[in-house]
């Protein structure tokens, strides 16, 4: 199946000569949530701006729904909804009017039923007659989403949808995004909150210095790159790791009541857990409990970007 967004060798060199995109290739599948992660200045907004026709690429090609973003700009743009990073709303306009207006911009006929459905879905129906300046920051962001969706796009770009939004609203926003996915909208979001990608993305793309470092299924990525830690709680605290366990590279907790063992599920010789547990028993240590934890997407991301800079 062809991807709904196909990007091939996309380049953007700004007027001053700065190369913000250096040959980006990426396929985005219909109905998925793709998180685009990257440090400040990596090129995320430039990539979205190019796909939405705000910035003209200086090389490569991209198609949205099969339409070339340059030669068939109008057709490509009609498939896209964009929620920009900056909240820019007409302060004295009523919520419902600003959303209606956005639909008109795409030359679509009025559809009050659709507007009501959208505003209800985004918990804005009660606020439809409020002026946008009377809304909280989180509500304003939801108005931006309503404006971006009102011409019924198939692909929605969200540039930092939850920047500066509190934890509760962030979770609300995640529910909104998941609801849109359930309706078949393809979603590409940029975020600095890696936990956001961990919570809602199907796939993760990492971009750094204008280049894509990887695009991978989130769960596969975490399985492939993530190290696991086994924490062993001891029945009786110890002062030091016994000699016989030295080669296991264990960390003893400051209280002496727990040992941590890092392992790799991809290891050639297995995880080493069975041997470790036998060695612990041989040293006469008894266990009170064991827990495992996996390194987060955040740790994986920081590691990747650091490696790229080296």
- DSSP, collapsed to helix, strand or coil, labels residue 205 as strand
Q: Is 230 one of the binding residues for ligand ATP (CB under 6 A)?
A: no
**How near is the Cβ of 51 to ligand ATP at its closest, in Å?**
12
**How near is the Cβ of 39 to ligand ATP at its closest, in Å?**
7
Q: Is 20 one of the binding residues for ligand ATP (CB under 6 A)?
A: yes
* Residues whose CB falls within 8 Å of the CB of residue 79, separated by 6 or more in sequence, listed in order: 64, 65, 67, 153, 154, 155
Q: Are the C-beta atoms of 75 and 67 separated by less than 8 Å?
A: yes
Pairing, β 203-208 against β 33-37? parallel
* Residues whose CB falls within 8 Å of the CB of residue 205, separated by 6 or more in sequence, listed in order: 26, 34, 35, 36, 37, 212, 214, 215
Phi and psi dihedrals of 39, rounded to 5? -70, 175
Using the contact rule CB under 6 A, the part of the chain among 27-35, 42-50, 96-104, 276-284 near ligand ATP is 42-50
Using the contact rule CB under 6 A, the part of the chain among 11-19, 96-104, 138-146, 262-270 near ligand ATP is 11-19
Q: Is 208 one of the binding residues for ligand ATP (CB under 6 A)?
A: no
**How near is the Cβ of 124 to ligand ATP at its closest, in Å?**
26
Q: Which of 41, 59, 267, 303 binds ligand ATP (CB under 6 A)?
A: 41
Q: Are the C-beta atoms of 11 and 21 separated by less than 8 Å?
A: yes
Q: Is 42 one of the binding residues for ligand ATP (CB under 6 A)?
A: yes
Helix (H) or strand (E) holding 50: helix 44-51
CA distance 133 to 96: 13
Interface with ligand ATP: number of residues (CB under 6 A): 12
228-240 core/surface letters (b: 16 or more CB in 10 A; e: else) = bebebebeeeeee
Q: Which of 5, 43, 124, 221 binds ligand ATP (CB under 6 A)?
A: 43
Nearest CB to ligand ATP, comparing residues 7 and 20: 20
**How near is the Cβ of 45 to ligand ATP at its closest, in Å?**
3
Nearest CB to ligand ATP, comparing residues 46 and 132: 46
Q: Which of 4, 24, 26, 44 binds ligand ATP (CB under 6 A)?
A: 44
Q: Are the C-beta atoms of 229 and 292 separated by less than 8 Å?
A: yes
**How near is the Cβ of 185 to ligand ATP at its closest, in Å?**
22
| Residue indicated by tokens 């979770």 | 171
Q: Is 57 one of the binding residues for ligand ATP (CB under 6 A)?
A: no
Query: Which residues contact ligand ATP by CB under 6 A?
Result: 14, 16, 18, 20, 38, 40-46
């Amino acid at each position: 199946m062809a991807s709904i967004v196909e990007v091939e060798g996309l380049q953007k060199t700004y007027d001053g000569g700065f190369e913000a995109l250096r040959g980006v290739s990426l396929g985005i599948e219909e109905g998925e949530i793709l998180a685009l992660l990257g440090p400040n200045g990596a090129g995320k907004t430039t990539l979205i701006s190019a796909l939405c026709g705000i910035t003209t690429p200086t090389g490569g090609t991209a198609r949205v729904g099969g339409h070339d973003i340059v030669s068939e700009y109008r057709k490509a743009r009609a498939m896209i909804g964009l929620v920009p990073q900056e909240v820019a709303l007409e302060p004295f306009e009523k919520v419902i009017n600003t959303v209606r207006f956005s639909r008109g911009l795409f030359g679509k006929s009025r559809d009050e039923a659709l507007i009501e459905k959208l505003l209800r879905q985004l918990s804005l129906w009660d606020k439809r007659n409020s002026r946008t300046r009377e809304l909280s920051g989180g509500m304003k962001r939801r108005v931006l989403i309503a404006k971006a969706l009102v011409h019924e796009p198939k692909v929605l770009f969200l540039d930092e949808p939850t920047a500066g939004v509190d934890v509760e609203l962030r979770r609300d926003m995640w529910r909104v995004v998941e609801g849109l996915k359930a309706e078949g909208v393809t979603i590409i979001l940029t975020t600095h909150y890696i936990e956001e990608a961990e919570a809602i993305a199907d796939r993760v793309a990492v971009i750094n210095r204008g280049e894509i470092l990887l695009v991978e299924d989130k769960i596969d990525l975490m399985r492939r790159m993530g190290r696991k830690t086994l924490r062993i709680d001891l029945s009786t605290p110890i002062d030091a790791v016994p000699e016989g366990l030295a080669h296991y590279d264990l960390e003893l907790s400051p209280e002496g009541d727990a040992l941590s063992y890092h392992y790799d599920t991809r290891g050639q010789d297995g995880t080493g857990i069975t041997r470790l547990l036998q060695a612990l028993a041989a040293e006469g240590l008894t266990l009170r409990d064991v827990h495992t934890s996996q390194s987060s997407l955040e740790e994986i991301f920081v590691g990747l970007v650091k490696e790229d800079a080296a």
